[in-house]
Amino acid sequence: MDYRIHSMICGMALASLAVAQPAVEYGAVGARQGAVAAGAGTAVAPATGSVAAVDPGTARRRAAGGEGATSRADGPNCVGEMAAPTMVGLAVGKSTLLKMPEPVVKRTVGDPGVVETRLVSPQMLYVLGIETGSTNMILQGKSGRCEVVDVQVGLDAQGVEAKVRELFPDEKEVKVRVAANSLVLTGTASDAMVVNQIVQVAGAYVRTGQGASGGGAAGSTAVSPRIVNMMSVAAPQQVMLEVKIAEVSKALIEKLGAELNIVKDNGSWTYSLLSSFLFSPAAGGGIGVAHKLSNLNIEAEDSEELVKILAEPTVMAISGQEGSFLAGGRIFIPVAQNAATGTGTTITLEEKEFGVGLRFTPTVLSGDRINLRVAPEVSEVNPEGIGVTVNGSQTLLPSITTRRAATTIQLKDGQTFAIGGLVSNNVRHSIKAYPFLGEIPVLGALFRSNNFQNNRTELLFVVTPRLVKPLPPGYALPTDAYVPPGRAGRLANGRMEGAPERSEDAMPAPEASTAGQGKPAGGFEVK
């Protein structure tokens, strides 16, 4: 009996001792107790020591914020006025410790999904950045006064900048900053290629997660919308591109044909032998012999055609920007389309450009190297055209012959590369003959025709990029030496140009410093 009374007295003493303990738990023990409370769905009320049931959602929120954290609905009842909020910045996955002026008895986290908090001691708060975003915490001390801490969680700008320093040791002016949930790249890089590479490195940090969304799939080279590129290129270079498009086309045509007609009239019967295999009697020369009811025509043609095309367009563009050039014209080709109402066919005109064209995008790299994306083109209207029949009438539609090359190369200032070429040799030989008679030696030539055609084409695209800079004032233009003739010289002597005036004070044209061949660049000087 005495033993049972002694046990009851000890139990009451332990219960009173538990009620007297403060309501703050911290460290590993507090974390374990919070996890147990979240799993069981119960919590211990510190004021009375009694057990009260809570819903699982509240338990999960308390587990995310740490033991002792409250939800926004269960905010602290602060005493007195609160001071101005304290600002704390964190990177995703990084943590910090906040020392409070007095022991913390209650804390409230605005968004537990952004930061995680734990009390490691009564006055020391551990804060971990979980997701990019912003939130705040209200910390109530033992005296009842509250303190507000604003927390901004962003991407790891220092980690990105350290990696840029490691990969690009010469790019010391590049800085990485955080704006909201984006990385901002500022500073000056040596060339455009380095700028693109730095953007890709920063994009890898966004794509690998730091809780980011919309950064693109892993391995993708597309720039993330959360990368703000404000970098500039130091002293952007201007590039002049010289392109030569040379083509020689030679055609050889040989034709030989015969036309023989023999007619014999024998009373009521008429016998005839007809052989007509001429290709185009009006195109070449011919010999004809006729006697009564018989005639013989022999047609022969030997023609040669030589075409030479040399185009040298020159375009200049700043590094990283596209330059284009076109010297030619436009033609309109009729295109038949079915009417929307189904009443018939309508004819529309489609515009086509032809001539000498050039599009290129240079990127200046270190060491006077140039990355060049170039697409030269030469096109012309084919005089032969294409014959078509529309509604029973014959129509000749224009056609365009095009030579085009497109590629990306890397070469040094002043170097010349052949980026494309073509060597074509087409031979066509056809014979039309009368069966059996055309195979007779010698005489068989009267019963057959030969057409031989040989087309040879050689085409070459050559490009030469040059770094240029502006010329000093007083640069001589090609038109400066032109002097219009006077009336007497034009009428009496038939002159088209007058004698230039000589002046010793005239400023001579400056010499262009060249790289490679050294050629003036029309208002710009080759570097």
pLDDT at residue 223 in the model: 44
The 10s digit of each residue's pLDDT in 466-479 is 888 777 787 787 77
Alpha-carbon distances, residue 298 vs 193, 309, 379 (angstroms): 70, 37, 39
Bridge-partner residues for 13, per DSSP?
none
The CATH number of whichever domain residue 96 belongs to comes to 2.60.40.1080
Classify burial at 343, counting beta carbons within 10 Å of its beta carbon; exposed 0-12, middle 13-18, buried 19 or more.
exposed
Q: Give the CA distances from residue 113 to residues 40, 61, 129, 131, 288, in Å, rounded to whole numbers and listed in that order.
A: 22, 9, 9, 7, 103
Number of domains in the chain: 3
Q: Please report whether residue 512 resides in a domain.
A: no
**Is residue 210 in a domain?**
yes
501: which DSSP letter? Answer: P
Written as one string, the DSSP assignment of 331-390 is EEEEEEEE-TTSS-EEEEEEEEEEEEEEEEEEEE-GGGEEEEEEEEEEEEEEEEEEEEEE
Identify the bridge partners of residue 296 per DSSP, sorted by sequence position: 260, 289
What are the pLDDT digits (tens) for 234-286?
A: 767 788 888 888 888 888 888 777 666 666 666 555 445 555 554 454 444 44
Q: How far is CA 42 from CA 30, 36, 51, 473, 496, in A?
A: 15, 9, 7, 87, 108
pLDDT at 64: 45
> pTM for the full model?
0.47
Please tell me the number of Cα atoms within 13 Å of 155 on its side-chain side: 29
Residue 176 and residue 307 share a domain: no
DSSP 3-state percent helix, strand, coil across the chain (nearest 5):
15, 50, 35
- Do residue 116 and residue 183 come from a single domain? no
Residues 229 and 244 in one domain: no
The pLDDT, as a whole number, for residue 290 is: 47
Check whether 17 has a pLDDT greater than 70.
no
- Tokens of residue 312, six digits: 């040298």
Is the pLDDT at 106 greater than 50, yes or no? yes
For residue 96, give the nearest of 62, 58, 67, 137 by alpha carbon: 137
Domain boundary among 452, 467, 482: 467
Residue with tokens 């986290």: 109
In this prediction, what percent of the chain has a pLDDT beyond 90?
1
Of the ranges 144-158, 209-223, 308-322, 332-346, which one carries the lowest mean pLDDT score? 209-223
Task: Say which residue, 32 or 108, is predicted with more confidence.
Answer: 108
Say if residue 197 is in the same domain as residue 254.
Answer: no
Does residue 218 share a domain with residue 137?
Answer: no
Give residue-wise pLDDT tens across range 355-393.
888 888 998 887 788 888 988 888 888 877 777 776 667
pLDDT above 80 for 58: no
319 and 183, same structural domain? no
pLDDT at 255: 79
Q: Reduce the DSSP state of residue 435 to 3 states and report it.
A: coil
- Residue at a domain's end among 419, 449, 467: 467
Do 180 and 329 fall within a single domain?
no
Distance of alpha carbon 218 from the chain centroid: 19
Alpha carbon 491 to chain centroid, angstroms: 60
In our burial notation (b when 16+ CB lie closer than 10 A, e otherwise), range 144-180 reads: ebbbbbebbbbbbbebbbebbeeebeebeebebbbee
Alpha-carbon distances of 128 from 26, 112, 141, 178, 272, rounded to whole Å: 15, 10, 21, 18, 110
Q: Is 112 helix (H, G, I), strand (E, B) or coil?
A: coil
pLDDT tens, residue by residue, 79-94: 888 888 888 888 888 8
For residue 495, being part of any structural domain is answered with no
Which of the listed residues 88, 123, 154 is the one where a domain comes to its end? 154
In a domain, 507, yes or no: no
Give the residue with greater pLDDT, 326 vs 334: 326
Flag whether 515 is in a domain.
Answer: no
Do 328 and 394 fall within a single domain? yes
- Hey, what are 176's tokens? 């990485």
* pLDDT of 500 strictly over 60: yes
Domain that holds residue 227: 157-233
Task: State residue 377's pLDDT score.
Answer: 86
Q: What is the DSSP string of 242-288?
A: EEEEEEEEEEEEEEEEEEEEEEEEETTEEEEEEEE--S-TTTSEEEE
Looking at the structure, tell me whether residues 207 and 273 fall in a common domain. Answer: no
Average pLDDT of the chain is 72
The length of the chain, given as a count of residues: 527
253 inside domain: yes
Task: Name the DSSP class of 174.
Answer: -
What are φ and ψ of residue 138, in 5° steps? -115, 120
Q: Same domain for 143 and 218?
A: no
Same domain, residue pair 351 and 433? yes
> What CATH number does residue 229 fall under?
3.30.1340
Residue 304 makes CB contacts below 8 A (sequence gap 6+) with: 250, 251, 252, 253
Residue 309 lies in a domain: yes
Q: Which long-range contacts (CB under 8 A, 24 or more apart) does 335-341 make?
A: 336/390
The answer on pLDDT for 513 being more than 70 is no
Is residue 487 assigned to a domain?
no
Q: Identify whether residues 165 and 219 lie together within a single domain.
A: yes
Compare 125 and 28 and report the one with higher pLDDT. Answer: 125
